[in-house]
């Protein structure tokens, strides 16, 4: 399975057989622009250098994506050093939030995989994939991109209202981790000022 098929989870052909289930408009055609306008319903939280969003497909419950907040940025190397560090810190924060929530909700949780690929979608984004012991034996230790095409397109795996508690839990954890990080930054600044 190539990233092209899986990328549909970001670019918008996943679920509903590729049709847009959103009656208001096709926010998937401009994920970052709609996030900036506040009209992207997949946004969990605004972070320092991007948007944490829940994935369109949820065959691995908790799958999330970090979208850079500038639609013209295609590669990590196009960001300034400060923005690059902020994006990677946001990726770490989203990864930790997904890990904490999935570990609390499913005793079969194994780990989180973090990936920045960008082979299909032209904007910088990072995938956050929770992995579980209950995955098929031939896939559990392999890249998620090897899952069959039906996992990316079947409505049974599409994001839907049953995932709202998961979305809310990841959002709360992002808030908690953000407060923790802000407190740590404040403490570090105080130490640096005293030195």
Alpha-carbon torsion, ordered 20, 35, 43, 16, to 10 deg:
10
Determine the Cα–Cα distance for residues 193 and 195; give it in Å rounded to an integer.
6
Tell me the per-residue pLDDT of 6-63, one tens digit each, with 9 for 90 and over: 444 554 433 333 334 444 468 888 999 999 999 999 999 999 999 999 999 999 999 9
Helices (H), 46-125: 81-105
74, pLDDT greater than 90: yes
109, pLDDT greater than 50: yes
- What domains, with CATH codes, occur in the chain? 3-194 (3.30.428.10)
97 CB burial (10 A radius; 0-12, 13-18, 19+) = buried
Tell me the per-residue pLDDT of 175-191, one tens digit each, with 9 for 90 and over: 999 999 888 777 766 66
When mean pLDDT is compared across 10-14, 54-58, 71-75, 86-90, the lowest value belongs to 10-14
Measured over the CA atoms of residue 19, residue 30, residue 122 and residue 158, the dihedral's sign is negative
- Average pLDDT on 94-106 reads 98
- Farthest-apart Cα atoms in the chain, separation: 60
């Amino acid at each position: 399975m190539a990233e092209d098929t899986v990328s549909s989870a970001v670019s918008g052909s996943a679920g509903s057989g590729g049709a847009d289930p959103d009656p208001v408009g096709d926010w998937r055609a401009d994920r970052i622009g709609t996030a900036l306008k506040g009209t992207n319903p997949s946004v969990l939280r605004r972070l320092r250098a991007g948007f944490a969003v829940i994935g369109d497909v949820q065959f691995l419950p908790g799958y999330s994506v970090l979208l850079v907040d500038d639609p013209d940025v295609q590669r990590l190397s196009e960001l300034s050093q400060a923005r690059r560090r902020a994006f990677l810190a946001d990726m770490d924060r989203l990864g930790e939030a997904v890990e904490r929530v999935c570990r609390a909700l499913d005793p079969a949780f194994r780990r989180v995989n973090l990936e920045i690929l960008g082979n299909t979608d032209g904007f910088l984004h990072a995938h956050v994939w929770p992995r579980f012991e209950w995955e098929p034996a031939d896939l559990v230790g392999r890249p998620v991109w090897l899952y069959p095409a039906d996992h990316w397109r079947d409505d049974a795996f599409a994001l839907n209202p049953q995932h709202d508690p998961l979305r809310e839990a990841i959002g709360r954890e992002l808030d908690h981790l953000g407060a923790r990080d802000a407190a740590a930054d404040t403490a570090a600044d105080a130490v640096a000022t005293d030195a």
